Amino acid sequence: MKKYILIIITTILSLSANAQKLEKPIIDKITGDTTFSTKTEVLANPFALIQHAITVSTIRTKNEVLLSFHLKDALNIYYSVLKGDTTVIKFTDGRLLKITAALDSHSSFLSGGTLTYVGSDIYYALSGQEMDILKNKKIAFIRIMTSKGAFDYDIKNGKSEIVKKQLELITKQ
């Protein structure tokens, strides 16, 4: 029995050790510019089959830092988020931060085994002030405005530090 408990603990520790790591840097073969990115991590609803799920990663290029939300939806609805559309992040202290999409993003139909779902990647170029706010506050709620209305995500307290840790990691490079 102790052996199985030890195996479970080791597995959990190895999975958590993968969190907050950088992906292999991508070096542009023409310009020589290096792009760093963090691993994608779940913010809300990781096992929901009917509701929205959201994951996050951060990317740093030569000129900017991007926050990337990856959305998945099992309802098979097509939507878009256009450059300039806003996303509102509410923090645990009640403060709101509005960020704007840096690029047009359109959902596409994806297949995950027997499930078909809709997914999209939405990118936000962050200013220094926006990064400071995200690094110093805990996220409670995210509302992403899409062509099909608002997509709302409650962020649990344990997940609220993910963006902060990713930004700290990516800006160290």
> SS3 string of the chain?
CHHHHHHHHHHHHHHHHCCCCECCCEECCCCCCEEEEECCEEEECCCCCCCEEEEEEEEECCCCEEEEEEEEECCCCCCEECCCCEEEEEECCCCEEEEECCCCEECEEEEECCEEEEEEEEEEEECHHHHHHHHHCCEEEEEEEECCEEEEEECCHHHCCHHHHHHHHHHHC
Tell me the average pLDDT across 67-95.
89
Find all residues with CB under 8 Å of 111, minimum gap 6, and list them: 117
Tell me the average pLDDT across 77-101.
93
158 vs 99, residue with greater confidence? 99
Q: What whole-number distance in Å separates Cα of residue 18 and Cα of residue 52?
A: 24
pTM for the full predicted model: 0.78
Q: What whole-number distance in Å separates Cα of residue 145 and Cα of residue 84?
A: 10
Tell me the average pLDDT across 27-36.
75
Q: 95-116 pLDDT, tens per residue?
A: 999 999 999 988 887 666 666 6
Q: So where are the chain's domains?
A: 26-172
Topology of domain 26-172, CATH: Immunoglobulin-like (2.60.40)
Strongest mean pLDDT among 4-8, 9-13, 35-39, 134-138: 134-138
Percent of the chain whose pLDDT exceeds 90:
35
